[in-house]
Amino acid sequence: MPTLDSLELVQVFPVSPSTLLARWLDPTWHARFTGGAEASIEAVVGGRYTAWDGYIEGATIELGPARIVQTWRTGDFAEGDADSRLELVVEPAGAGTRLTLRHTGIPAGQGEMYRQGWEDHYFVHMREVLGG
């Protein structure tokens, strides 16, 4: 069995931790975080979500005041690939929030593509709409 890829990315945004997590789970804000691509989100444990016009899909498996954990897969995953795991951890950082994004269980060889994707298709837009 091939080794799965994983990555950890850190960004700081000038909003509170609770605001950042609430906006991640709001379909309108989530769409803004991706530059306008459609999102649908059931913001409860067990709730399904899609993002990037359906390219990304998964379920929320944990919600807490400082953390969201979701299953995560894209249209690039092979049918037999297991879902990957996305963990968002927030903590105060001065007047803002440090977001640590841990993405694990990525199909082997795709980690760098998703690392660049998080920057190009999420963080650049998140900095535009949240600041930072």
pLDDT 10s digit of each residue in the chain, 132 long? 578 999 999 999 999 999 999 999 999 999 999 999 999 999 999 999 999 999 999 999 999 999 999 999 999 999 999 999 999 999 999 999 999 999 999 999 999 999 999 999 999 999 999 987
Q: State how many domains the chain has.
A: 1
Q: Residue 36 belongs to a domain with what CATH number?
A: 3.30.530.20
User: Rounded to a whole number, what is the largest CA-CA distance in the chain?
Assistant: 45
Tokens of 93: 């950082």
The residue range of the domain holding 99 is: 5-130
Backbone φ/ψ region at 116: left (φ over 0), alpha (ψ -120 to 50), beta: alpha
